[in-house]
């Protein structure tokens, strides 16, 4: 998913002036965009040294934490929005972290590669694990611990008792609300308790 299109789609879900926690914030580009374009405040959380340095260079407040250790240092509802953009598939405790997201934030915005996107299905039918622009790694060197589909996440949210406030798919900067499980390379969900 292109960074600009992602930023625009996610920014539209974040209220003006919101206090935001960006889990797995990478180089801080999204949080910097929210701070400048939407007047947001908040923190990024990142474990990678080089990405933490990139956040500091962008003047994005960042905490260096391992998300697999949890979010116990944050009180309930201490943020308006908690973002997990391309993070959930890399976590060992994805279910716990999803619950922590809605505990710490009034709203959680989760986006992840949709494994059910039709080009991925086609590659699996041909006997191969998908390698695409949105899933660029081979099966043996991927940082993704797990793969999920739009439909899988909807089912998990329901099982955890989360309210899905909004959901859609993204592909090449376009929002897909009709058949997102097939047409979108990225699934996007807004959830709350």
d(CA 58, CA 29): 8
In this structure, the strands spanning 105-113 and 186-192 are antiparallel
* Residue 176: predicted pLDDT: 93
Average pLDDT on 45-51 reads 96
Whether the Cβ atoms of residue 193 and residue 163 lie closer than 8 Å to each other: yes
d(CA 126, CA 128): 6
* Residue 1: predicted pLDDT: 41
Rank 106-110, 120-124, 129-133, 173-177 by mean pLDDT and report only the highest. Answer: 106-110
Assess if residue 126 is contained within a domain.
no
Predicted TM-score of the model (pTM): 0.90
Assess if residue 128 is contained within a domain.
no
Give the burial class of 167: count Cβ atoms within 10 A of its Cβ; 0-12 exposed, 13-18 middle, 19 or more buried.
middle
Average pLDDT on 54-72 reads 94
* Residue 155: predicted pLDDT: 95
Assess if residue 63 is contained within a domain.
yes
Whether the Cβ atoms of residue 85 and residue 10 lie closer than 8 Å to each other: yes
d(CA 179, CA 173): 16
Assess if residue 92 is contained within a domain.
yes
pLDDT in tens, 124-160: 677 876 677 777 777 777 776 788 899 999 999 999 9
- CATH code of the domain containing 164: 3.40.50.150
Please state the domain count of the chain: 1
Assess if residue 131 is contained within a domain.
no
Residue 50, C-beta contacts closer than 8 angstroms, at least 6 positions apart: none
Q: Please give the residue that has the higher pLDDT: either 153 or 68.
A: 153
Query: Which residue range forms the structural domain that includes residue 20?
Result: 3-115+147-192
């Amino acid at each position: 998913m292109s960074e600009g299109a992602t930023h625009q789609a996610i920014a539209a879900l974040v209220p003006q002036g919101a206090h935001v926690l960006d889990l797995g914030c990478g180089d801080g580009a999204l949080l910097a965009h929210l701070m400048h374009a939407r007047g947001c405040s908040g923190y990024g959380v990142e474990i990678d040294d080089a990405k933490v340095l990139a956040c500091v260079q962008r003047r994005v407040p960042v905490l260096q934490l391992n998300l697999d250790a949890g979010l116990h240092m944050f009180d309930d509802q201490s943020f308006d929005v908690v973002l997990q953009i391309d993070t959930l598939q890399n976590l060992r405790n994805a279910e716990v972290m999803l619950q922590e997201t809605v505990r710490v934030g009034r709203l959680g915005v989760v986006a992840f590669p949709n494994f059910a996107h039709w080009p991925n299905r086609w590659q699996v039918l041909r006997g191969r694990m998908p390698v695409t622009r949105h899933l660029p790694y081979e099966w043996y060197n991927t940082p993704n611990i797990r793969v999920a589909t739009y439909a899988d996440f909807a089912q998990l949210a329901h099982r955890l008792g989360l309210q899905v406030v909004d959901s859609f798919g993204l592909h090449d900067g376009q929002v897909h609300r009709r058949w997102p499980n097939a047409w979108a390379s990225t699934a996007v969900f807004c959830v709350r308790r």
